[in-house]
A = this chain, B = another copy of it.
């Protein structure tokens, strides 16, 4: 009987076969291959830029949003930056082979819990072509075969980058199929995310529509990149200057990212001092505010033209220079607000009280809980974990920054001298 298998299954099987070879590669060989890939990227700058120019021209002709075109655009500096990113990954400690723990059983069996690669990791991404080189480096470093699926808008750029990297892989003796760049067909994507037993993990890096598509159709494990509806809570006895500095930084320093703050919560006891000063600082930085009735009262005339914060505002990740401000009666009310509206990403309290700090840390159920610091630090690089592949608000496997270690699983190696179970 001839068994016909789909093209996608064939691709995934090639990827799985490559994964079996990758998990045997030494840390040195993997780093050397990543260095070669970085070299190739720089060496082939002209070809990559030529293809990128076409993508950018097509995107402009199709009247894509300027922000998207900006993300798509490459120049020699950006390519140098991509190569530098790869070299940084090459220099990170290798997560594979780490013995997490080990022990002997009463019968003499030795158990050791080893970190090993996941196998086949598929990454689905939109826009930025630099993701192609980031993922290639992170997957190779962690010993995983990568299946990449970029967006139509960056198709030529991604292909040029992938070809440069592939040449270097061949030179480094890494199997061809260690990295496979797919086309941008939607039906192909659907098949990819249903390859149970072949694809070990899918990481989507894209908008809500992509997420919804995966929730609907995926039959392989997925780590969803996080949305961050984050809060800064100013406690009764906070240092006012610090509170305002943190609130402004968390909102303003880069408003379009998932670790920015969206709502400022202020304890009633601190509100008369904090609210007017915070509002002044935020508006001076161009932030549009949505305020609660108590805030309006405290601001008096200065509240003119500010919209009332609605339930929907509290539930929204603005990703923009917009912030809600709400006065709460107590620490508990602040925690309840976070529990109700937060997305479990990054939450901060500003306080001098040890009791409040501890209550907030225990009471808030989020990946990262900050005391007297900006939410903007939630990031693999900032945390000193090296490059990240995303940020997770889910609780299984990876919570917070998803770095090299999160691209591994464990294997129990058990060694004996003939033990059987009685």
Contacts and interface: CB of A to CB of B under 8 A. Distances in A.
Interface of A: 20, 23-24, 103, 105-106, 109, 111, 116, 118-119, 200-201, 215, 219, 221, 223, 239, 242, 245-246, 249-250, 253, 339, 357, 361-363, 365-374, 376-378, 382-384, 394-397, 399-400, 409-422
A373 to B, nearest CB: 3
A338 to B, nearest CB: 11
A349 to B, nearest CB: 10
A353 B310 CA distance: 70
In the A-B complex, list the 6 residue pairs whose CB atoms are closest, starting with the nearest: A373-B416, A249-B420, A395-B409, A376-B421, A397-B397, A396-B397
B239 A414 contact: no
A366 B411 CA distance: 7
A228 to B, nearest CB: 14
A296 B325 CA distance: 79
Contacts of A409: 395-396, 399
15 contacts: A23-B362, A109-B377, A111-B383, A111-B384, A246-B418, A249-B420, A249-B421, A368-B411, A371-B415, A371-B416, A372-B415, A372-B417, A372-B418, A395-B409, A396-B396
Given A221-B394, A384-B105, A416 B249 contact: no
Contacts of A382: 105, 421
Contacts of A106: 384
Contacts of A394: 221
Contact of A418 (B221, B242, B395): B242
Contacts of A221: 394-396
A421 B257 CA distance: 13
A363 B24 CA distance: 8
Nearest to A105: B384
Given A119-B365, A200-B396, A371-B414, 9 more contacts: A221-B394, A221-B395, A249-B420, A366-B411, A369-B411, A370-B415, A372-B415, A373-B415, A399-B409
A222 to B, nearest CB: 9
Given A367-B412, A377-B109, A396-B221, A384 B20 contact: no
Contacts of A372: 415-419
A239 B419 CA distance: 13
Contacts of A245: 418, 420
Nearest to A350: B418
A410 B392 CA distance: 11
A412 to B, nearest CB: 4
A20 B365 contact: yes
Nearest to A396: B397
A95 to B, nearest CB: 13
B411 A399 contact: yes
A166 B282 CA distance: 51
Contacts of A242: 417-418
A394 B221 CA distance: 9
B377 A411 contact: no
A116 B364 CA distance: 11
A187 to B, nearest CB: 20
Given A373-B415, A414-B370, A395 B253 contact: no
A187 B337 CA distance: 32
